Structure 1
Amino acid sequence: MTKRWKSSVTAFLGMTALAMTTGAATAQDEESIKIGFAIALSGWMAAYDEEPYNAARQKIEEINAAGGLLGRQIEYQVIDTKTEPTLAINSASSLVDWGADIIVVSGDYDTGSPAAFVAQNAQKVAISFGASDPKMGVQGVGPNVFSAHTAGQAAGIVMAEYAFKELDYKTAYMLEDLTMEATKSSCAGFVAAWENAGGTLVGRDTFQGKDPSIAVQITRLKSLAETPDFLFMCSSLPQGPIAVRQLRAAAVDLPVLSDTGMSGNFWLSSVPGLKDFYVPTLMAIDEEDPREEIRNFLSAYQERWGQTPSTEFSVLGYCTIEQWSRAVELAGSVETDAVVEQMNQFKDEPITCGPTSYTDEVHIQVSRPQLITRVEDGAFRPVGVFQNEFVPDLGLLLRTGQ
Structure 2
Amino acid sequence: MRKLTAFMAGSALALSLGAGSAQAADNEVVVGAAIALSSFIAPYDDAPFKGAQLAIDDINAKGGLLGKQIKVVTADTKSDPAQGANAAIAVLEQGAELVLVTCDFDFGSPAAITAQAKGKIAFSLCAGDPKFGVQGIGDLAFTMGNGTPGEGATIAEWAAKRGWTKAFILNDVQVEYTKSISKYFKARWADGLGTIAGEDTVNGQTDTQIPGQISSIKAAKDAEFILFPGGPGGPPIIRQIRAAGITIPIVMPNSLDGSYWIEAVPDLSNAFVFTMGSIYGDDPDAAVQAVMDKYKAKYGGPPVTSYMLSGYGIIETWARAVERAGTFEAKKVAMEIEKFKDEPLVSGLTTFSPEWHINLNRPQLVIEIQNGKHKALERTRVEKVPEVTF
TM-score range, shorter chain: over 0.9
Looking at structure 2, the residues matched to 128 and 387 of structure 1 have their Cα atoms a distance apart, in angstroms, of 22
Name the counterpart of 1:139.
135
Task: Pick one of 155, 174, 183 that aligns with 1:179.
Answer: 174
Residues paired across the two proteins, number:
382
> 2:96 aligns to what SS in structure 1?
coil
Corresponding residue to 1:77 among 73, 76, 83: 73
**Conservation of the 8 A alpha-carbon contact between 2:12 and 2:117:** no
1:303 aligns with 2:302: no
Q: Does the CA-based 8 Å contact 2:121-2:334 persist in structure 1?
A: yes
Residue 19 of structure 1 corresponds to none
Q: Aligned in 2, Cα 1:2/1:249: closer, same or farther, shift over 3 Å?
A: same
Provide Cα deviations, 1:92-142, integer angstroms capped at 9, x if missing partner. Answer: 123223322111111111221111011111111110101111111101000
Q: Distance in 2 between matches of 1:271 and 1:98?
A: 43
* Matching residue within 157, 162, 168 for 2:163: 168
Alpha-carbon shift at residue 339 of structure 1 (Å): 0.8
One-letter code aligned to 1:196: D
C-alpha RMSD of the superposition: 2.1
User: What does residue 214 of structure 1 align with?
Assistant: 210
Match in the other structure for 1:369: 363
CA apart distance, 1:393: 2.8
The CA deviation at 1:347 is: 0.4
| Kept after mapping to 1: 8 A contact 2:7/2:110 | no
Match of 2:42 in 1: 46
Q: Which amino acid aligns with 1:142?
A: G
Of 315, 322, 334, which aligns to 1:340? 334
Asked whether the equivalents of residues 165 and 224 of structure 2 are also in contact (C-alpha less than 8 Å), the reply is yes
**Unpaired segments of 5 or more residues in structure 2?**
none
**In structure 1, what residue type is equivalent to 2:322?**
V
1:5 CA drift (Å): 6.0
Most deviating of 256-265 and 324-333: 256-265
Aligned to 1:314: 308
- Which residue of 2 is the match for residue 192 of structure 1? 187
- Distance apart, 1:8 and its partner CA: 7.1
Superposed CA deviations along residues 127-186 of structure 1, whole A, max 9, x for unmatched, are 010111111110100011000111123222111111101x11111111111111111011
Establish whether residue 98 from structure 1 lines up as the match of residue 94 from structure 2. yes
2:285 aligned with 1:291: yes
Instruction: Please name the residue that 1:148 is paired with.
Output: 144
Q: Counterpart of 1:25? A: none
Aligned mates of 1:92, 1:266 — CA distance in 2: 28
C-alpha separation in 1, matches of 2:7 and 2:364: 38
Shift of 1:274: 2.1
Amino acid paired to 2:79:
T
Task: Quote the residue 2:109 is aligned against.
Answer: 113
Q: Is 175-184 or 214-223 further displaced after alignment?
A: 214-223
Report the CA distance shift for 1:12/1:214 in structure 2 as closer, same or farther (over 3 A).
Answer: farther
Contact 2:165 2:195 in 1 (8 A): yes
User: What is the CA-CA distance between 1:10 and the residue it aligns to?
Assistant: 5.4
On the 8 A contact 1:366/1:392 being kept in 2, the answer is no
Structure 2 CA distance for partners of 1:13 and 1:143, relative to 1, 3 Å: closer
Post-superposition shift, 1:221? 2.5
> Is the contact between residue 15 and residue 89 of structure 2 (CA under 8 Å) also seen in structure 1?
no
Contact 2:149 2:385 in 1 (8 A): no
Identity %: 36
Match of 2:84 among 82, 88, 93: 88
